[in-house]
Amino acid sequence: MAEGEGQRKRVLWGLAGVTFPLTGAAKIASEIAQTKVPPQAETEEQHHAYAGRRNILDALRKGDDGPLRQAHAEGAWLVLLLGGMPTAGQD
């Protein structure tokens, strides 16, 4: 019960703008999370490519290769594969 009370107080202090230093596992977890943050927001093209890849993979897991065949027929498979990311020589 004391741990719950301490956590409640910490949340209330946090709402008031008081911060507490991270220690132990919380500090390591924070450092790992920071390395996974992308350096910039994804573009709309990158978002659509990601959604397309996700939809194709979900369909393939269910045994449906229709979305993959459709993307290939439309010539979009390469964009989906590269994720809308710039290739060598592009900025």
Structural contact between residues 77 and 71, judged by C-beta atoms closer than 8 angstroms: yes
CB atoms under 10 Å from CB of 55, counted, come to 14
Q: What share of the chain is helix, strand, coil (3-state, %, to 5)?
A: 65, 0, 35
Q: What is the CA 11 to chain-centroid distance, rounded?
A: 26
The 10s digit of each residue's pLDDT in 22-40 is: 788 888 988 888 888 877 8
Gap between the Cα atoms of 89 and 57, Å rounded: 29
Structural contact between residues 84 and 46, judged by C-beta atoms closer than 8 angstroms: yes
The 10s digit of each residue's pLDDT in 42-59 is: 888 888 888 888 988 899
Structural contact between residues 85 and 48, judged by C-beta atoms closer than 8 angstroms: no
Gap between the Cα atoms of 16 and 39, Å rounded: 30
Section 57-78 average pLDDT: 86
- Residue 58: the pLDDT is 93
Whole-number CA gyration radius for the chain? 22
